[in-house]
Structure 1
Amino acid sequence: MYQFTLTVAKMVVRLFGKVEVKNKHLLPKNEGYIVTCTHRGWLEIVILGICVPRSIHYMAKKELFENKFIGSFLQKINAFPVDRENPSPSSIKIPVKLLKSGEVVGIFPSGTRAAENAPLKRGAVTISNLSKAPIVPALYVGPRTLKELRKMKKATIIFGEPIYINTTSKDELAAHTELLNEQTILLENQIEK
C-alpha cells in the first residue's frame, strides 16, 4: 500500500507543482536512519516520502488512529501511533527495532504542526542514541496544502549532514537536541541563499 500511495502522490505532485530536492546525496544508503523534518502542514509528509528513496515509517499521534478507517490506512502506509502526552516504552521500542533492521523512521521533532517554530522534543535524539542510527535533519519550504501546490508553488526539501549520537549523559542528549535545532536553522539559511 505504501508504494501504491507513493506512486499516486508523485503523479499528483508532478501534475500540479514542482519539487526541488537538495543534498539528497547526504542520505545514508546502507543503514537505517531517522529523518526529521519541520512540520507546519500535511503536504511536507507526502513530499518527504517522495524525496526519500526508501520507505519511511512515520511516527504519528495516536489520535489519528482512533478512526478505524484512517487508522487502518495509516498502518498500511507504515505509520505507527505514539501517545505524545504519555509516551509508553513502545514509543521508543518500535522505532529502535525498525532502525536496527535498517529501516527509515520519520519523526517531526516539534511534535505538532506549527505555524511558528515550535521547540524540539528530545524523542528523535533519544531514539538515535539507543539505536545508534544517525539523524538526518530535513527542512521543507513550500506550499502547505494541495490548493497552494496547484498554484504552482515550488516545494523544496533540503537534507543536512547526518548526526551520530553515542552518549550516556542527559546533558549531552539535550545538547544534541539543540544541535538538531541549529542544523535546521542552517538549512533555512541555505535555502534563502
Structure 2
Amino acid sequence: MFYKFAKTVVHVILAIIGGRFQVQNKNKIPKAPFVVVSPHTTWIEIIYLGFALYPTSIHYMAKQELFKGRFLNWLMTHLNAFPVNREKPGPSSLKAPIRLLKNGKVVGIFPSGTRNQSNIQLKRGAVTVAYKAGVPLLPAVYDGPKTIKELLKRKKIIIRFGDLIHLNESSREQKDILEEKSTELLATFDTLRQEIKTMKK
C-alpha cells in the first residue's frame, strides 16, 4: 500500500515539474516473475522505471548503506527495497532476490552504467539471480535528465525495453551460460542506447 501511495504522489509531482515521459517496447514486458536490469546512471532512472512497469511492483536491490537507521530502514523496506553488500557481493546476496522471484515477484537490479570489471561482475550477478530462480531477464535503458536541474528543464524522458533474455538452458555448463548471457546483456544495453539515439536524430 505504501509503495502504491508513494508512487502516486511522486508521479504527480514529476508530471508537474518533469518533461514528457515515453515508454518504448512496453509489449516486451512479461508477466511476473522476472528480473529487470538497467545500467544505473541516476536515481531518477529508478523512479521512472517503476512508472514504466506499474502496476507491477519492483523489489529493488539497494546498497546496504541506505538502510542505516530506523527511519531509513523502515522507508526502504516499505518501498520494496532490500539490502545487499555491493562492495563484496557473495552467495548470501542471492538469497533475498531468488526468494522474491520464487514467490512470483519482480526484482530490479541496477548496476552502474560503465563497462569496468566490477560492474561487469554486478551485471553477471543479475544474470546469476535470474538463472538460479528460473526466470527471464528484461533489459531496459533510461534516456533523460540526470539531475534535478536537468529535470526542471523538462527534457524528454525515455525508458526503452529490450527483448527478454532467457536462461532456461540445461545442456551446457552453468559457467558458460552465465558468461554468454552477461555478454548478451551488455550488448543489449548498447543496442537499446543506439536505437534511442537514432530515433532522436
TM-score (norm 1): 0.91
- Contact 1:109/1:123 (8 A) holds in 2: no
Q: Quick check: 1:128–1:134 contact (8 Å CA) kept in 2?
A: yes
Q: Which amino acid aligns with 2:156?
A: K
Contact 2:109 2:126 in 1 (8 A): yes
Instruction: Describe the superposition over 1:103-128 as per-residue Cα deviations: whole angstroms up to 9, x where unpaired.
Output: 11000133xxx6x5554321110001
Aligned to 1:42: 43
- 1:13 positional shift: 1.6
Give, in whole Å, the separation in 1 of the partners of 2:143 and 2:70. Answer: 32
Which amino acid in the other structure matches residue 15 of structure 2?
A: R
Gaps of 5+ in 1: none
1-structure distance, mates of 2:147, 2:72: 19
| Contact 1:20 1:156 (8 Å CA) reproduced | yes
Q: How far has the Cα of 1:137 moved from its partner?
A: 0.3
- The correspondence of residues 21-170 of structure 1 with structure 2, limited to 5 A, is 21-29=23-31, 31-53=32-54, 54-110=56-112, 116-118=114-116, 119-120=119-120, 121=122, 122-167=124-169, 168-170=173-175
**1-structure distance, mates of 2:16, 2:149:** 13
Q: Partners of 1:108 and 1:151 in 2: how far apart?
A: 25
Using the TM superposition, name which of 95-104 and 55-64 deviates more.
95-104
Letter in 2 for 1:181: L
1:8 aligns with 2:9: yes
Q: Equivalent residue for 2:191?
A: 186
Deviations 1:37-85 (A, max 9, x none): 1211110011111111200000000111113322210101100000122
- Kindly, what percent of the aligned residue pairs are identical? 43
Amino acid in the other structure paired with 2:93: S
Following the alignment from structure 1 to structure 2, what is the Cα–Cα distance between the partners of residues 90 and 32?
A: 20
Q: Secondary structure of 1:14's match?
A: helix
Q: 1:58, 1:80 within 8 Å by CA — same for their partners in 2?
A: yes
Q: Is the 8 A contact 1:18 1:155 kept in 2?
A: yes
Amino acid at match of 1:97: R
Amino acid at match of 1:187: L
Which residue in 2 is equivalent to 1:171? 176
* Contact 1:56 1:105 (8 Å CA) reproduced: yes
Runs (5+) with no aligned partner, structure 2 = none
Residue 117 to residue 144, structure 1, CA distance change in 2 (3 Å) = farther
Give the length in aligned residue pairs.
188
